[in-house]
Structure 1
Amino acid sequence: MKSPRDWDKPQVILAVFTGIALVALITAASTSAASFGIYNSAWDGSSKLSAEAEATGSTVTVARSVEEYDSVPPKGTIAFVLSPDKPYNPSARQNLQQFVQNGGTLVIAEDFGSHSNALVQALGVNARFDGHLVRDDRYNYQSPALPVAHNVKNHSYTENVSALTLNHGTAIRTQNGSAIVQSSGYAYLDTTPNSKLDNNETITNHSVVTTHSVGQGQVVLVSDPSIFINSMLERPGNKAFVQNLVSEHENVLLDTSHTSQLPPLMAAVLFIRDSAAAQILLGGSGIFGLIVWGFHAKKVKSRIPNRADPEYRQSQEMNAEAMSSYLQQKHPEWEQDRTERVVTSLQDQYRKE
């Protein structure tokens, strides 16, 4: 036998689906599917990079424009640029160059993108990302395309790091930098490319992390941005490497200025955070809303039915005819007295609530 609540099942189902849709909408608006994205919590995102930085006690800033480099003190700040999607124009390059010259540390991680080498050159660093896949048939994690670089030099960034695991990375060609992590001597660049060692390809050590002094600061090149993604941080050495990078700095700047767009909700949050006018407008709107609610609360409350009100109960009981009509349509095989008994039973249950 149905209870009075059963009459509201369509509304309940609608409410549930509305709730699910709302949660999905908020999730979509606050997350990103962009590879290496700071707000991407999937395997190819870098949301854990931000979490690791915060765990060390560093102050984390998500930079939507290069002007935000001016908002942090260069000394004591490390900035991350992960495989930018578009080139840095001369003005933007100048911002980054000034940041490094004045004592900042800039990490540029790239594999096959076409925009990082121009930035490296503009910084005065004599090094380039090769752009070909580095493979290692002997020392790798599950696949030669995931080489394990275990030639690690003594450096503050490599403390407790026995090796780094790449995921379809490349190599760094440099003449004046210091290679602090290199592949094994069995690695080669797949220049063909055909996923195998050809006669024109040579097995040798390849640099995967290099450091370069620029002015009072430093540029760190990493030949695979995948080292910083969520799934690869779990590989031995990768997380320790990230922790070493950020723990030496009080501030961490995550440069998203030249990568895929931020999710709408996070963009709005960051805009409000950085805009005094937006904060005043939002705060004023909230206060105005409270005032309006105060004036109309009684009116709104008066329109909400009171189940204990005798008149309300009487109006509900008057729906007996509608209930009876519904049951007759639903169960035409029922006799009239059976229909009446069901209606009476439902009304009795309703009165007891």
Structure 2
Amino acid sequence: MTGEPGIDDPPWRRLDGPKMLLAVYAAVAVIALLYAASTSSVAFGAYNAQWDGSGDMRAVASENGSAVTVGTNVSQYPTTDANGTVAFVLSPGEPYTRPEVDRIERFVRAGGTLVVAEDYRPHANDLLSGVGASARVDGRPLYDTRNYDRTGAFPEVTPTGPSPATAGVETVVFNHGTVVEPGDATPLLTTSSYAYLDEDGDGELDDDESLASRPVATTEAVGAGRVVVVGDPSVFVNAMLDRGDNRQFARALLGPRVLLDYSHAGGVPPLAAAVLALRRSGWLLALCGAVLIAALVGIDRRADERLREYVRERRSPADPGRLSAEGVEALLRSRHPDWDGARIARVTEAVMSQRRKRQRDD
């Protein structure tokens, strides 16, 4: 009998095997749900901690001292006092609507910087055209036969000359990127003269594919702002930031304020979206704060009552006057194992009756 949980044992000692298993399962399920609601597997996603996510970009911007905003709507682009704000668009998975493009164009022309990184999807070129930039992403796979990291699909590219956008950068490593047709823009990064565009996608240099140095990143003025185009969004993903000088390149592009535009990148996790909504809405944040305070007050009262009861029971476990009916019955059984059930029930009822009478007298 001494090995069995009793009335004076803590709550976890009172759980039998099935209940304990259920409690563990419930805890694991809650943790899994919270993790799923706060993370994402979307490529280039801000809340994707895997190799193809861009969660580390937020850390890079924060370490740089930039004020970081994770954008879920183009309404977050400032159209006044945009100077000093740098917005990043990494391989949008959906096209921007005309009103959305107009909003981003006003941001750029008001002095903002727009960084568009793309390789094969078509939506970036539509955005570039809409905001008035002349550079375009080519879309054909880029290889280098001599200057690369691991394989020719990871070409090493270098700055074309001094520029604030490439300050401290010697080599940037691409990952299955493409080239940028500059138009009227100024090239920032270029391949070696051993690079080629894989026209047929076979990963081999064919007779109709030529070696040449090609631009892979550009910058150009649009209104009072500028547009930077990079032919590979993978430059900014978690696994690539530590290759070459990719991290320094990301830092060089940052400004005092950074907007990471994920409005067309597949969305953000529910929990992260809720947090972002709270940050943007003062009245919603106040409402949630009031609800939380009320809940904490209620929990505190219940916890206080349970604590007092627990202290009363633990103060003198052998005193029947401080035990519940079940506790009195358990105590009587341990002290008088020769008593039958009926007698124990009568004595227990008598003890409880006396207690109730004392409480009324008090």
TM-score (norm 2): 0.81
Relative to structure 1, is the Cα distance of residues 281 and 180 closer, same or farther in structure 2, using a 3 angstrom cutoff?
same
Is contact 2:70-2:262 (8 Å) kept?
Answer: yes
Aligned-residue Cα RMSD (Å) equals 2.4
TM-aligned CA deviation for residue 319 of structure 1: 8.4
Give yes or no for the alignment of 1:127 onto 2:135. Answer: yes
**Structure 2: distance between partners of 1:98 and 1:163:** 33
1:277 counterpart = 2:289: no
Indicate the residue corresponding to 1:220 in structure 2: 228
CA distance in 2 between counterparts of 1:77 and 1:263 reads: 25
Matches within 5 A, 1:142-181: 142-181=150-189
Matches within 5 A, 1:246-261: 246=254, 249-261=255-267
Residues 30-45 of structure 1 mapped to structure 2, 5 A cutoff? 30-45=38-53
Q: Offset of 1:260 from its aligned partner?
A: 0.8
Segment drifting more, 12-21 vs 82-91: 12-21
Q: Give 1:180-259 correspondences, 5 Å limit.
A: 180-246=188-254, 249-259=255-265
Decide which structure has the larger Cα Rg and report it. 2
Shift of 1:151: 5.0
1:5-33 deviation line (CA, Å, top 9, x unaligned)? 59734433333332222222111111111
Displacement of 1:286: 2.3
Q: What amino acid does structure 2 have at the position aligned with 1:185?
A: S
Cα distance in 2 between the residues matched to 1:51 and 1:298: 41
Matched, 1:50 2:40: no
Give ranges in structure 1 of 5+ residues lacking alignment: 321-353
Are 2:295 and 1:264 aligned? no
Q: CA deviation at 1:159?
A: 1.8
User: Deviation string for 1:29-74 (max 9, x for gaps)?
Assistant: 1111101001111111001101000001110011111111127731
Contact in 1 for aligned 2:80/2:107 (Cα 8 Å)? no
| Greater shift in the superposed pair: 229-238 or 143-152 | 143-152
* Cα distance in structure 1, aligned partners of 2:14 and 2:44: 48
Per-residue CA distance 1:68-125 (angstroms, 9 max, x = gap): 1127731111110000011111111111111110111110000011100011111211
Counterpart CA distance in 2 for 1:149 and 1:159 is 14
Alpha carbons of 1:29 and 1:318: their partners in 2 closer, same or farther (altered >3 Å)?
farther
Q: Are the counterparts in 1 of residues 165 and 252 from structure 2 also a CA contact under 8 Å?
A: yes
Task: Measure the CA separation in 2 of the matches of 1:143 and 1:117.
Answer: 28
Residues 176/296 of structure 1: CA separation in 2 closer, same or farther (3 Å cut) = same
For residues 152-207 of structure 1, the C-alpha deviation after alignment (integer angstroms, 9 at most, x for no partner) is 42111212211110011111012211111101111111111111111111111121
Give the Cα separation in 2 of the matches to 1:136 and 1:2. 76
Q: Report the secondary structure of 2:208's partner residue.
A: coil
Counterparts in 2 of 1:240 and 1:295: CA distance versus 1, 3 Å: closer
Equivalent residue for 1:286?
A: 292
Q: What does 1:112-123 align with in structure 2 at a 5 Å threshold? A: 112-123=120-131
